[in-house]
Amino acid sequence: MVQNRPYTTVILAMSADGKIADFKRSPARFGSDVDKAHLEQQIAAADAVLLGAGTLCAYGTTRTISQPILLQHRQQEGKTNQPIHIVTTQSGNLNPEIKFFQQGITRWLLTTTVGAQSWQGRSEFDQILVFETPTGKIDPIAALKYLAPLGIARLAVLGGGALVASLLESNLIDELWLTVCPLILGGVNSPTPVDGQGFMSQLAPRLELLEVKTINQEVFLHYRLQQPID
């Protein structure tokens, strides 16, 4: 836990030119089986995962743990089989017909007062969290602080680029795992690990390289965010 909030790790696969999806924002299915196992391992280490509405909309499902050894480790640690899956949307505009709502997981919604309106009193989400700024945007700092006392010490952030940008802007990211996959996606409108407005280079978040693994054709980069000096 860091400063009364969960320790956050972003896990993303990207093309060699730094795109996390093609220009049609299709689901990113270009990672190898090794990368999928790596993602599952990171999810298994988390108490909850956070994903943006854009990501959920692209996939229609969320990644669950299927490897027996990972499930066994979680059971030994007294954890539930799957972490809590938290979807975040400001508008609340999600399709209740997608497969995500049939997956055997605990689902929470992180949204605004407006976004919560169409989901309250329904069964899709086990909890609805409303944390908003005075201007009606999601307040990620308050939301993450709320999660810590609920036993959510580790949070895996599964994208996409808009959500990661907003968390980085609020200095809420601790680590990143980026898998560089052997393809080029190109396109000015293809999403990247961090979209949003961007940072001026002098003020850009700085990283410390913790680890590099090369497995077959993929490179797994593990970074820690350097804390800004006050």
Binding residues for ligand NAP, rule: CB under 6 A, are: 12-14, 20-21, 25, 27-28, 52-55, 58, 88-91, 93, 138, 140, 158-163, 166, 191, 195
Closer residue to ligand NAP, CB minimum distance, 6 or 54: 54
Closer residue to ligand NAP, CB minimum distance, 75 or 124: 124
CB of 137 to ligand NAP, least distance (A): 7
Closer residue to ligand NAP, CB minimum distance, 20 or 43: 20
Closer residue to ligand NAP, CB minimum distance, 82 or 111: 111
How many Å apart are CA 82 and CA 63, to the nearest integer? Answer: 10
Residue with tokens 């804390």: 227
CB of 22 to ligand NAP, least distance (A): 8
Angle, vertex CA 193, rays to CA 113 and CA 128, nearest 5: 20
Q: How many CB atoms lie within 10 A of CB 123?
A: 9
Q: How does DSSP classify residue 20?
A: S
Q: What is the bridge-based pairing of β-strands 207-215 and 218-225?
A: antiparallel
* Intra-chain end-to-end CA distance of the chain, in Å: 20
CB of 112 to ligand NAP, least distance (A): 8
Closer residue to ligand NAP, CB minimum distance, 90 or 106: 90
Q: How many CB atoms lie within 10 A of CB 42?
A: 19
CB of 25 to ligand NAP, least distance (A): 3
CB of 78 to ligand NAP, least distance (A): 29
Q: Which helix (H) or strand (E) holds 92?
A: none
